[in-house]
Amino acid sequence: MTPSSNSQSASFLSRLRQVPRLPFIWQFTWVYLTIMLFVPVIALLLKASTLSPAEIWRIATSPIALSAYDVTFVTALVTAAINGVMGVIIAWVMVRYEFPFRRILDAAIDLPFALPTAVAGLTLATIYSDSGWIGSLLAPFGVKVSFTRLGVAVAMLFISLPFVVRTVQPVLRELEPELEEAAWSLGASQFQTFWRVLLPPLLPSILTGVALGFSRAVGEYGSVVIVAANVPFKDLITPVLIFQRLEQYDYAGATVIGSVMLGASLVILLAINLLQAWGRRYDI
């Protein structure tokens, strides 16, 4: 080795040492995120990109996939909207009223976060079946819930229930009742008070909760797969379709439809972030 190259490498090393070394917590965070999160996500996207665009389009828009999107996204949207309305009512009742068992009921709202989804699916399928506690009351009217699209909806209602309640509750607690009393004393009707005084500051948190619930319902697998009959074009949801594709070793099919789901998740995540930024307007 010549002296000049030696000094060059030495100066390179000393320059390398001058680069501020990332602290341990950053190193660990990046390495862990890379192994556990980034590499798997990239693997899915790269696998999808090995197919030709025409092939991707054909799989992503095949009739069975389209009907699965319909069942998944439309049902999730409807149930998230129902829970949007019910969530506001529940949050209102829990924050403003005092009644027996309120605390227990309030704590029970988190049950869908804590109860494994397979258990939720099992008990919902039993209760809403023709011979179940609630299903047997509905059967005389010709309403079948378990093993139909309605069953999918009930499972999604269960899974997305806590989100709106938990996003609205803290905002509602901050709103002083004086505001409503002022509106009322100025002659506003109850409806006007709700529409003009209460709803505007609550709206960002309601929409955030609906988006979170929607996102959870769209991705839900465990409870739906047990409650539904999983019949194509009837009550087959997209995650079950992906699972069936994998079971048939159709990796291309699973990858493309999985990428569609991943894309949908990213869009919803972006929407939630925008909604939260919008909600911060009211924080002062």
Partner 1 sequence: MTSEVFNPFSRKPSPKTDSKELAKRGEWPKLVLIGIVVVYLALVLLVPAINVFVQAFDGGMEGFLETIRQREFVNALKLTLLMAAIAVPLNTVFGICAALALARKRFPGRTLLISIIDLPFSVSPIVAGLMIVLLYGRNGWFGPLLESAGIKIIFAIPGMLLATIFVTLPFVAREVLPVLEEMGPELEEAAKTLGASSWQVFWRVTLPSIRWGLLYGLILTNARAMGEFGAIVVVSGSIRGKTQTLPLFVEEAYKQYQTQSAYAAAVLLALLAVVTLVLKEILERKTAIKDAE
- Contact criterion met (CB below 8 Å) for 56 and 256: yes
The alpha carbon dihedral of 118, 120, 122, 124 has a sign of negative
Compose the 87-126 pattern: x for residues touching partner 1 by CB under 8 A, - for all others: --xx-xxx--x-x-----x-xxxxxxxxxxxxxxxxxxxx
Using CB under 8 A as the binding rule, the residues of this chain from 135 to 154 that contact partner 1 are: 154
Q: How far is the CB of 270 from partner 1 (least distance, A)?
A: 8
Residue with smaller CB distance to partner 1, 13 or 134: 134
- Out of 10, 12, 34, 39, the only residue in the binding site for partner 1 (CB under 8 A) is 39
Minimum CB distance to partner 1, residue 6 (Å):
36
The radius of gyration of the chain from alpha carbons, rounded to an integer in Å, stands at 26
Is residue 49 a contact point for partner 1 (CB under 8 A)? no
The position carrying tokens 């100025």 is 186
Residue of 59, 80, 161, 172 interacting with partner 1 (CB under 8 A):
161
Number of residues interacting with partner 1: please give it, by CB under 8 A.
Answer: 82
Q: How far, in Å, CA of 218 to CA of 205, rounded?
A: 20
Of positions 246, 250, 278, 282, contacts partner 1 by CB under 8 A:
246
Q: Which residues contact 142 (CB under 8 A, 6 or more apart)?
A: none
Asked if 190 interacts with partner 1 (CB under 8 A), we say yes
Is 76 exposed, middle or buried, given 0-12, 13-18 or 19+ CB atoms closer than 10 A? buried
Stretch that binds partner 1, among 12-20, 56-64, 197-205, 248-256 (CB under 8 A): 248-256
**Of the candidates 70, 262, 278, 282, which one interacts with partner 1 according to CB under 8 A?**
262
Q: Among residues 49, 61, 136, 273, which is the contact residue for partner 1, using CB under 8 A?
A: 273
User: With binding defined as CB under 8 A, does residue 170 bind partner 1?
Assistant: no
- Does 36 bind partner 1 (CB under 8 A)? Our answer is yes
Residues 165, 89: Cα–Cα separation, whole Å? 8
192 near partner 1 (CB under 8 A): no
Burial of 127 (0-12, 13-18, 19+ CB in 10 A): middle
∠ at Cα 256 (254, 260), nearest 5°? Answer: 110
